[in-house]
Structure formats: C-alpha cells, structure tokens
Chain A
C-alpha cells in the first residue's frame, strides 16, 4: 500500500492537471462558439454556389475552361486540412485514416502542422504546407487555394480534393474527402449528396439552354476561380469549427476523468490515513498493556 505522502503527491498532480484541462476547455469553448458561427453562417452561401455550379457544368462546353475539362487522373492532388495543435481527441487520426486509404498516386498539400508532420513521417509526397490562424481570414486561405489551382493548371496534379473534418455538431465531426476540381466530379458528388439527403434534384429540371450575360466566357472566367476560393474557404471554416469542438469535448472528458480520479484518490488517502492512525493506537495500547 502506498504511503499517505505518495497519495498526497498524486492528488496534487491530478488537481493541477484538472485545472489545466478546465482552462483549456474554457478557451476551446469560447473559440468554438466563434468558429461554429462562422462555419454555419457561410454554409448556405457555399451550398447555393455549389448547386449553381452543378447546374452549370453540363450546360457549358468542357473546352471553355480548364476547370471543366475532364482529364485522365494520373496524380490526385489532396489538400489535407488538419490542426496545428494536438489535444483534440481522435480528430486528426481519423483524417489520417482517410489518407492511408488512398492507394492511387497522389501529391499532398497540408494545412496545419499535424498533417504536415504525418505526411512527412509516412513519406508521402508533400508539396507544401501552410499554417492558417484560428481566425482564418479569407486572404490567408486564398493563398492556399491559389497554390492548389496553380498546381492543377500546371498539370502537377490532375484533381483537387480536400480531406477535412466536416463540422456536424459539437459532438460529431465527420472526416470527409470533398472533390473540388475538375467540376465534372462536383456534379456527381452533389447528386449523391442530395440523394443521400432524400432531396429531389429539382434544380436540374429546367433543360432549356442557358443564357450568359455578358458572355459565357466572361462569366466562367469570373465565377470558377471565385468558386474554388470560396469553397475551400468554407471547408476550412468547417474544419476549424470541428477542431475547436473536438478539443472542447476532449478537454471536458479529461477534466471529468481527473475529477473522478481525484475522488478515488481522496478515498484511498483517507483509508490509508485511518489505517495509520489505527495502527498507531494499537501500538500505544499494546505498549501500555505490556508495561
């Protein structure tokens, strides 16, 4: 049986841990609120834009824009959005699981230190890594998406896909692969998503020819790059919301565990203390009887 002093020391250390995890939980909770708001507010915009693009894709000629052209996929381009810091539960490892499932040749770009470290450790083809602050301004993300687009246009990669943790609610974050470029993949993806959600694809019913103002070329030139930037931005906001939520939940669990452990240790300490006192009284009594 450990001595009372040992138990006391352990109690102290567990208390410290609890204090730290509680503080981290509070910090994550306040960041989470902001990140969740940002992610949810931007969602209708991103969805509407995606539906718009999906409706557009079959109506325009593939040759009109490089983003529309189907090409043979030799190397996939994957943008892995992970976190900079750990202590967020299984969030990152779930993402990495998706990465290991990719068997075809692929090149990677990472956002977040954890992802970059993982890709380097597993000796995957990491082209670049970026860090995006918790506030995640559009300008920061634009650098990333423009880099991806550049690689895509140069032909270094033949697709642009994003692996990220989709924010569903505070407790649930889904790791996901989202195709971004080329856009023909997008339409399939959205249709699958709608079927999954039980929504009838009414948007695609109007089969008349589409009019472009001022011209198809001009609209596509403006809309497509804009779409890619915005879309990746939205995915990043979602990933940030997931990160903070996962961290808060992980820290809350840690805090609860510490509290439970503390209760057990206190009980053990009291028992040990009582045993020691009883022992002492016995010894004194025995000594006085013997005298």
Chain B
C-alpha cells in the first residue's frame, strides 16, 4: 500500500506520484505520514518536505500553505514549491534581497503585499537552509 502525494501551487502541479512516506513541515514541527494515517488537516510552514520512495529520499522546499491527509492520499497546497536539486542559490539570494529591500522602502504598503513579500523571504530562507544542509 502506498501513499498518493500531490503538491500543487497556484502556478502548477509540482508533484504527483505514489510514495512510501512523506515528512511535512507544519507550524508545530515536522509530521511524518505513513500509509493508513488518520485524516489530518494541518497548516504548513515554509520548510523542507521529505519524500521517501523505494528507499531513496527526495527533498523539496515548500512555501506556507495547507496539507490534508485522507484515505492514503496526501494533498499539499503551498504558495510555492521547488525540488531541492533545482534551487539556484544565487537567484534565491537575489530574490530575498529584493523582497527585503521592497519591504524596507514602503511603510504605507498594502497589508496583502507585505504578507506576500514576507512569504517570499521565508521561502527563500527555507531554500537556502535546505541547500546548505545538503551540501555538508
């Protein structure tokens, strides 16, 4: 019996496959999901999502969002998601700097915009952290 994992962002369906286990970064810390898990709805923090399939582990970095487990299918809705191998450290650094600069510049910004920029920064930080951990 395997889990069906689906990761979807507003831009695209990032991941859709049968996997053995998945570890999700929630606001309360990491939660590991195995087949037969009780139905669960949780809030996701920007962080590292680990997928194990046939003994090999894949790392993805996801932005804030929600995850739902129901009857051996795991659905992850995230603002953004990227496979660890595809992370470009320089580009991420650049994106983070831009977002931080934009945050500092404007004080009368729309709260929605601030939220979005903060999301970008959190996602960037999570990407950098995962990348550096994997390199060592």
Contacts and interface: CB of A to CB of B under 8 A. Distances in A.
A223 interface: yes
Contacts of B28: 213-214
Contact of A45 (B27, B77, B116): B77
A212 B70 contact: no
Given A41-B12, A203-B70, A208-B38, A213 B77 contact: no
B31 A49 contact: no
A213 B66 CA distance: 10
Contact of B42 (A55, A138, A142, A213): A213
Contact of A212 (B12, B41, B73, B110): B41
A48 B8 contact: yes
Tell me the dominant secondary structure on chain A's binding face.
Answer: helix
Contact of A139 (B11, B26, B113): B113
Interface string A40-60: 011011001101100110010
Contacts of A59: 39
B41 A138 contact: no
Interface string A207-222: 0111111100011001
A202 B41 contact: no
Interface string B62-87: 00001010110101010000000000
A56 B6 CA distance: 18
A205 interface: yes
Nearest to B26: A213
A72 interface: no
A101 interface: no
Contacts, number: 83
B39 A206 contact: yes
A213 B40 contact: yes
Interface residues of A, number: 31
B46 to A, nearest CB: 14
B39 A208 contact: yes
B11 A41 contact: yes
A223 B70 contact: no
Contacts of B39: 59, 206, 208-211
B55 interface: no
Interface string A56-77: 1001000000000000000000
A49 B112 CA distance: 20
B9 A45 contact: yes
Contacts of B75: 48, 51-52
Contact of A55 (B11, B27, B68): B68
B38 A219 contact: no
Contacts of B8: 44-45, 48
A253 B37 CA distance: 56
A49 B110 contact: no
